[in-house]
Structure 1
Amino acid sequence: MFELYYYLEKEKRRVIDEEERKRLIREKIKQEEEIRRLKFTISIIILLLTNLRLWQDREIFNRNKEKLEFELFILKAVQKIKEQLLLRKDTELILTPRELENAKEIQNRLTQEGIYLKNDLTRLEENKGWNRKLERDKELSKTYDTGLSIKTD
């Protein structure tokens, strides 16, 4: 009887041990799956961070490139103004409408960055209009009674 009891206890422990072993195996499998998920998540995060870094580098490059193009544009505009001042004895600047629009755009961009130009381009445009009015008045004063206008250089 004791042997039977001993055998049943032993069998019971074996069954319990078997169930415990299965439970441990299931837990281990769950842990391995969790580790795989974490590794996958970490690899995705690393990939995203790498792409973000590349994107930021590209943004910095584009921003610097845009800044250099802007500075080159300003230098060209200043050079053209200097050339016009050297070619003309009077200081009136002759700007085409497109050049005036570009100059206004430069002024707006500089103003946005906190840099203010000493010569306000709107005043320059008003002066240009005023100079045209003076030229018209000069031409009108040279008009004779016949209605013909004589242009002199």
Structure 2
Amino acid sequence: MENENYYLVIFKGEIIGIINEKELIELEKEDRIRNNKNIHIAKISKSNINDILKKNLIRALDKKERKELEEKLFIMEIVQNIKEQLLIKRDMDIVIPEKAYQFISKIETELKKQGISLQHPLRECIDDLSPYSLFEDKLKREKEKSKTNYLGRERE
């Protein structure tokens, strides 16, 4: 693998581009860039490039597009998290953040797109971990008991 260096081009505090070493040499030949005090060049690692591009892309979009992209990225992160959990132990309850509850259907479709099928719907796998599920289960059990073991006066 090539060990190529990458550089950020920063103009007045904002990232305007990412260049490689060859492009940097060409830019340094130009006097305008060397003499301009508003332009800074910083070396970055190859692993940080995707993060920087993602953040700047989100910043450049309008409010609606930004929200949709952030939602899609969040869903992709959750799907990746679920894949990692399933690699550790196949039949375990899945732990996801509470914010992800509103995107469960989208997460399930994304899992199916990536070829991952769960034995139970995702909502069932998560509800076991919800703090409210224990109380809901207790209410259901008590309701079933009250139907079978009715202690009060029988109705005619």
Structure 1 and Structure 2 fold alike (TM over 0.5): no
Using the size of structure 1 for normalisation, the TM-score is: 0.28
- Per chain length, whose mean CA-contact separation is higher, i.e. which structure has more relative contact order (CA < 8 Å, sep 6+)? 2
More strand by percentage = 2
More helix by percentage = 1
Using the size of structure 2 for normalisation, the TM-score is: 0.28
